[in-house]
Amino acid sequence: MSDIPTPTPPSLTHFDAQGQAHMVDVGAKQATHRIAVACGQIEMRPETLALIGSGSAKKGDVLGVARIAGIMAAKKTSDLIPLCHPLALTRVALEFELRTHENAVLCTATVETVGATGVEMEALTAVQVALLTVYDMCKAADKGMVIGGVRLLEKRGGKSGSFFAPASPVR
């Protein structure tokens, strides 16, 4: 046997001492400025990307509608994820990049609040729903689109400090 200690895995905060799921009590935590940035992409046929880029999709402005859907999703995250706290968001911004060399649309969401808990789930939810909206609006032209690479890029604020994801092929 080795004398090297085995690292203790981090505890999962959504379980109590008896292993029951619960909502984390953030009442005693200090309200701080919190930011999270998430990204993901949807891959498609070149013709589908061209439809989005030209604004000629039958259902209209694909990225404009996807942006609104992502903002709405961030605001409704606690209705979708059972143990998330409802938050007063101070900013939700979505950016899209057409990546013709990959036949993909990259979505990046930035979410901010001043509060006792972070906004990582809100940023991730915004990206997922925005990309699902792109799929919905373009599925008549391309049912084979693939959503992937959704991940947290960065989070700042709160007791755990900052997190910056390592480089990824999606970014």
> Which residues are annotated as catalytic?
136
Q: Strand 163-164 to strand 89-99: parallel, antiparallel, or no bridges (unpaired)?
A: unpaired
DSSP character at residue 144: T
Longest dimension (CA), the chain: 66
Sign of the CA dihedral with 58 first, then 60, 130, and 42 last:
positive
Tell which phi-psi region holds residue 18, choosing left (phi > 0), alpha (psi between -120 and 50) or beta. alpha
Q: Which of 119, 134, 113 is nearest to 53 (CA)?
A: 134
* Spatial separation of the C-alpha atoms in residues 150 and 36, rounded to whole Å: 13
